[in-house]
Chain A
Amino acid sequence: MHAVIIGNSAASLSAAEAFRRHDRASELTLVAAEPGPAYSRVLLPYYLRGSIARDRLFVRDRAFYDGLGAHVRFGHAVTRVNDRAWTLTLADGSELAWDRLLVASGARPVLPRVRDLPGTGVHTLWTLEDADRLAPELLPGRRAVFIGSGFVSLQAAWAACLRGLRVTVMEALPRVLPKVLDERASALLEQRMREHGVDVRCAVGIERIERPAGQAGIGAPAAAGAREASALRVVLSCEDPNVDADLVVVGAGVRPDLSFLEGTAVRVEAGGIPVDERMRTSVPGVFAAGDAALGPSVFGEAHTAHALWPTAVEQGRVAGANMAGHDLAYPGSLNMNVAEMFGLTVASMGRFLESGDPAEEAVVEQDPRGGRYLKLLFRGGVPLGGVVLGSPEDLAVLAALRPRIRARREGRLASGQPFRSLHLTLAVQRSRR
């Protein structure tokens, strides 16, 4: 049997390891468009910030693939999959036969529909190549506009701040980090960003990007401190004044590129490949995991897109086991996010926005000075999720709730000192495991 894995990141690595745990004999090949070995996309903002060296982005070395007994074909994108002949074609024209196929090819950044957005001076931050292109542009005194206020975008904006750039963040929705934080936490983060000198503009629409005076600019990054005409102008569709910038970074979400599956019977939706709890696609022998897959969630949704590292690791493990013939069902993904931005720890997990259901109860603890904010959402005593802003200490509360959110088990709270009592309850339960 020959198992082929398309991709070389969280889902693929975890799938390869799981496959080998259950099957030591079969042939295993990893194929990826990017040149190997694997690096961690999660760490790219840390590299931009200068908090880790470039070589530490790499999370596997050549010996890892040898140790797994895996063939690697890195640097070759898959251009076509044939699900009748059970083969795939690589960009160099070569063909590869497979018996089990895992599509863990990840996602690509989405560019919002803004006229003249693609072009000189506009960056995304998703691949190592993106980061290598962006890093030398982050020079003190330059003006950077970040379009979108997602996790990656805001971490990059913080990196730009620390490097002495003048930073503007534009968000189409009324608040920053809308998918990760609730309203109050967004407001606190926004306040902190302003304290760091960031020009935060929420609820703005961007009409087009202008490149005044036909800027050439390509391959000629400005010297530090050099005064020059701005390369770009972000023209807004609302009342706000337009913003001049030396560079624009787009962080408006990601979506998988699955064009290589055209012509196959693999069902593909706009957000990815729907899979069941064994990461199987609509074609027997073909699996999908990670950002390319739409898998089940702990909240009972059949097909959810997360584009999160932990979800990719879990789905990869399930896919790899099932590819090796070991029956393993996925209990569903639970979204979790954590990062530091503008000196604040920012994290959330599961569901943390009130839906209006009277059975829901939100428990909030907030430091009046605004340095710390915690919120847990319960329904009928069962935790659904929560938000942490400020202190890494509080991450332990979310972490302790995670198994209870998964198991839909009660996490009791006494009134008065909710978090203290929660800590105690969890601690006692823990000691009695």
Chain B
Amino acid sequence: MRIVTMDPDSCVACRNCEYACAFKQAQTFERRDSNIRVNFYPEERVCIPGTCVHCEEPWCLEVCPAAAIRRSPDTGAVEIDPERCAGCKMCLLACPFGAIRFDARARVARKCDLCGGDPRCVKFCISGALQYVETEEAFGFRRASFDAHLMQMFGKGDQP
């Protein structure tokens, strides 16, 4: 399956992904309707896009007391069925990545569904920070960025 990867080093915090997502999800351009969220910390000069990574063993899915979270047989996306969701927020407390939000108007939890296999956030990302890639590739990407981080911590050139 494919997931959306997020590269904070390339992200320019333009928030196009949020607009694209909100428009796809709710036909608005409001941040609160977006399932992807860019956190921008100007003082630290960090911007971090965040959305669901569709975990291999999703705890939100396992713990949902309404059996409202399923894996899509088509895209592999971990999806919330708004018809079944009771709005209990257990998944919000379960997801360590903060990738699930509460829709206060519909009183249900919402999260990324990969737009059925054509994620709008990736389509409208101007800097290439978001990529829709095969999970194996994504893990390679993470591995590389983690290694880079370690090298930075221990001084360039040194073995971590």
Residues of chain A touching chain B, judged by Cβ–Cβ distance below 8 Å, are: 10, 14, 40-43, 46, 51-52, 56, 59-60, 309-310, 313, 317, 336, 338-340, 345, 347, 349, 392-393, 395-396, 398-400, 402-403, 423-424, 427-428, 430-433
Q: In the complex, which residue of chain A has the Cβ closest to the Cβ of B102?
A: A392
A46-B88, A395-B89, A395-B92 are known contacts; what are 13 more A-B pairs with Cβ within 8 Å?
Answer: A56-B84, A309-B65, A338-B92, A392-B102, A395-B93, A396-B92, A396-B98, A400-B98, A402-B94, A424-B41, A427-B50, A428-B48, A433-B142
Pick the 5 closest A-B CB pairs, nearest first. A396-B98, A42-B65, A59-B67, A392-B102, A395-B92
Q: In the complex, which residue of chain A has the Cβ closest to the Cβ of B139?
A: A433
Q: Are B46 and A399 in contact (CB under 8 A)?
A: no
C-alpha gap A52/B66 in the complex (Å): 10
* Known A51-B107, A56-B84, A430-B50: A392·B92 in contact at CB below 8 Å: yes
Any chain A CB within 8 A of the CB of B87? yes
**Number of B interface residues in the complex (CB < 8 A):** 35
Query: Which residue of B8, B48, B65 is within 8 Å of A59 (Cβ)?
Result: B65
CB neighbours of A340 from chain B (8 A): 87-89
C-alpha gap A63/B142 in the complex (Å): 39
CB neighbours of A10 from chain B (8 A): 65
Q: Are B89 and A51 in contact (CB under 8 A)?
A: no
* Known A42-B65, A59-B67, A310-B94: A52·B86 in contact at CB below 8 Å: yes
C-alpha gap A321/B146 in the complex (Å): 33
Query: Which residue of A43, A336, A398, A427 is within 8 Å of B65 (Cβ)?
Result: A43
* Known A51-B107, A399-B95: A432·B88 in contact at CB below 8 Å: no
Query: Which residue of A46, A317, A345, A424 is within 8 Å of B86 (Cβ)?
Result: A46
CB distance from B148 to the nearest CB of A (A): 9
C-alpha gap A345/B104 in the complex (Å): 11
Query: Which residue of B83, B89, B145 is within 8 Å of A432 (Cβ)?
Result: B145
CB distance from B57 to the nearest CB of A (A): 10
10 contacts between A and B (CB under 8 A): A40-B65, A43-B88, A339-B88, A345-B102, A392-B102, A396-B92, A396-B95, A427-B46, A431-B145, A433-B146
Q: Are A46 and B87 in contact (CB under 8 A)?
A: yes
CB distance from A333 to the nearest CB of B (A): 12
Q: Are B93 and A42 in contact (CB under 8 A)?
A: no
The digit string for B114-125, where 1 denotes a CB below 8 A from any CB of A, is: 000000000000
C-alpha gap A97/B39 in the complex (Å): 57
Query: Which residue of A42, A51, A336, A431 is within 8 Å of B48 (Cβ)?
Result: A431
C-alpha gap A400/B39 in the complex (Å): 15
CB distance from B38 to the nearest CB of A (A): 10
Q: Are B87 and A42 in contact (CB under 8 A)?
A: no
C-alpha gap A220/B93 in the complex (Å): 42
* Known A309-B65, A396-B98: A51·B87 in contact at CB below 8 Å: yes
CB neighbours of A336 from chain B (8 A): 93-94
Q: In the complex, which residue of chain B has the Cβ closest to the Cβ of A337?
A: B93
CB distance from B125 to the nearest CB of A (A): 15
C-alpha gap A290/B62 in the complex (Å): 15
Query: Which residue of A14, A41, A310, A399 is within 8 Å of B92 (Cβ)?
Result: A399
Q: In the complex, which residue of chain B has the Cβ closest to the Cβ of A60?
A: B67
C-alpha gap A427/B65 in the complex (Å): 27
Any chain A CB within 8 A of the CB of B90? yes
Interface centre among A60, A395, A431 (most CB of B within 10 A): A431
Q: Are A431 and B92 in contact (CB under 8 A)?
A: no
B residues 133-153 near A (Cβ < 8 Å) are: 142, 145-146, 149
Q: In the complex, which residue of chain A has the Cβ closest to the Cβ of B150?
A: A432
Interface centre among A14, A317, A340 (most CB of B within 10 A): A340
CB neighbours of A317 from chain B (8 A): 62
* Known A51-B107, A431-B6, A433-B146: A56·B87 in contact at CB below 8 Å: no
B residues 1-17 near A (Cβ < 8 Å) are: 6, 8
Q: In the complex, which residue of chain A has the Cβ closest to the Cβ of B143?
A: A433
C-alpha gap A18/B50 in the complex (Å): 31
CB neighbours of A431 from chain B (8 A): 6, 8, 48, 145
The digit string for B14-26, where 1 denotes a CB below 8 A from any CB of A, is: 0000000000000
C-alpha gap A14/B67 in the complex (Å): 12
CB neighbours of B86 from chain A (8 A): 43, 46, 51-52, 56
Q: Are B89 and A345 in contact (CB under 8 A)?
A: yes
Q: Are B87 and A310 in contact (CB under 8 A)?
A: no
* Known A51-B107, A347-B89, A428-B46: A400·B96 in contact at CB below 8 Å: yes
Q: In the complex, which residue of chain A has the Cβ closest to the Cβ of B89?
A: A338
Q: In the complex, which residue of chain B has the Cβ closest to the Cβ of A406?
A: B96
The digit string for B55-90, where 1 denotes a CB below 8 A from any CB of A, is: 000000011011100000000000000011011111
